[in-house]
Structures are given as structure tokens and as C-alpha cells.
Structure 1
């Protein structure tokens, strides 16, 4: 897997927990609004923000480890890149 593919994969892996939590909360609130006929626009923002922050706090150690592993991988490639250039 080349560097760009791996970088995109890591970015998707890191962002997925927060995006999925926001998606699920958004769907639940949308269904609630449709059933109760409450059409308040701000009703969706606050729960999404809270859930995203909570997911960020929960997954921060894993995200940090994943990014650190990817950074170490990138730095380990420096000698190979240097050999290819000279």
C-alpha cells in the first residue's frame, strides 16, 4: 500500500467513529421530528455536537495511537527515500 492510500485510510479510520455517531444521532432526531412534527432547526445541532465531543473523548487514545503509528511509519520510510534519490 503506498503512502497516499495509507494516509487516506488512516484519515477515514480516525474520522469514522465521530461521523457515524453524528449520523446515528441525526437520524434519530430526524425521525423524532417527523413523528412529533417539531421542525426546530437547532434541535439537531446541539445533540450532534455533544455526541461528537463525547466520541472524541472516548476514542482520543486510539486516535492518538493510530496517528503516532502512521507517523512512525512515515519516518521509517525516510532512509528508503534517501536511497532512491541518490
Structure 2
């Protein structure tokens, strides 16, 4: 039987996984953007491509580097969720 406690548990697991995956992708990009911004402020270079391209490359690099982990994490979440759904329904 689906109780409010199990529903909250399922949703909290999903939110936890989403936050982990977003942090893996966004935090390195933010740090790279911070370094580029410090470099731009120090040298007075105000080029938009200089601020966009490193963040794009860092994000793509993290997708390549952590892609296997991201897929495995999402697969584990979906398998766990569908297993719980099968137990809760019937």
C-alpha cells in the first residue's frame, strides 16, 4: 500500500539523485567561469566568447568524464523506483 511516508521516500530519493547529477555538471563549470572572470577582470579583456567557451568545454568534459556514473545512477534510481512500485501496487 502506498502511504505518504513511502511516497515522500520515493520523491526524496529522486530529488537527491537529481541534485547530485546537477552538482557534478554545474559546479566545475561555475568554478571555471569564476577563474575566467577573475582573468578578465585582471586583464580588462571583455570578450563574451572568452567567458562562454571554457564553461561549455568544461561542461562537455564533465559529461564525457562522468557520463557512465550519471547513467548508472539514473538506472539504479529507475530500477529501485519500479521495483518499489511493483511491490506497492500488487
TM-score when normalising by structure 2? 0.85
Provide the residue aligned with 1:64 in structure 2. Answer: 71
Give the alignment of 1:1-86 within 5 angstroms.
2-83=9-90
Which blocks of at least 5 consecutive residues in structure 1 are unaligned?
none
Root-mean-square deviation (CA, aligned residues, Å) is 1.2
Counterpart Cα distance in 2 of 1:78 and 1:55: 32
Counterpart Cα distance in 2 of 1:81 and 1:22: 40
Runs of 4 or more off by more than 6 Å in structure 1? Answer: none
Superposition deviation, residue 78 in structure 1: 1.7
TM-score when normalising by structure 1? 0.89
Counterpart Cα distance in 2 of 1:43 and 1:56: 21
Report how many aligned residue pairs link the two structures: 83
Which blocks of at least 5 consecutive residues in structure 2 are unaligned?
1-7
